[in-house]
Amino acid sequence: MDNKSKVVKVKKNNDGDITDIMLENGNIYSIDEAIMMVKDDLIEGVNVGKARNGREYLRSNPNDNEGDNLDNMPTF
């Protein structure tokens, strides 16, 4: 059985960085919690990237649909 959830909304800070995500069940998680959940294979459609400075971040899995990119998702 597949219990993975999808990201449906994001919260951004004044710099445009994603700070929190909302899953389709309405639960909200900080970006750090979400990164751990992706690593535990609990969220689908996203993966963990690593910036040059070593900071981890979430990014959408590659596909041809820009509408599901995290930066293009509705905010809350």
DSSP string, 5-70: EEEEEEEE-TTS-EEEEEETTS-EEEHHHHHHHHHTT-EESEEEEE-TTS-EEEEEPP-S-GGGSG
Q: Say if residues 23 and 33 touch (Cβ distance below 8 Å).
A: no
Largest CA distance in the chain: 39
Domains of the chain by residue range? 5-72
Q: What per-residue confidence (pLDDT) applies to 5?
A: 95
- In this predicted model, what pLDDT tens digit does every residue of 21-58 receive, in sequence order? 999 999 999 999 999 999 999 999 999 999 999 999 99
Q: Say if residues 46 and 61 touch (Cβ distance below 8 Å).
A: yes
